[in-house]
Amino acid sequence: MKNRQKFVGRVIEIAFVTQAIIIGINGNLDVHSGKPVLDVIPPMITQAIPLIVKAYRTRKSVEKGDRIKKDRIPQNPDD
């Protein structure tokens, strides 16, 4: 079960990184095709902000889940 969760976590990480790379590539292609940089940057920012928010919320969700699991594990009083 734990390996499965790690795998899913890695897939999510790869998906976020892939989305960020695609945003960058599309921006570069737009600039190289002749669009002014000032016309390219705002749409890139508009695409990147939701991605950053999703990644942040996902990280917080995972951290919260890890904290809950640690709280449920009985602590050894000898530690």
* Kind and range of the H or E run holding 76: none
Integer distance in angstroms from the first to the last C-alpha of the chain? 27
Q: Tell me the pLDDT band of 18, cut-offs 50, 70 and 90.
A: very high
- Does 49 or 79 have the greater pLDDT score? 49
Label residue 43 by pLDDT band (50, 70, 90).
Answer: very high
59 pLDDT tier (thresholds 50, 70, 90) = confident
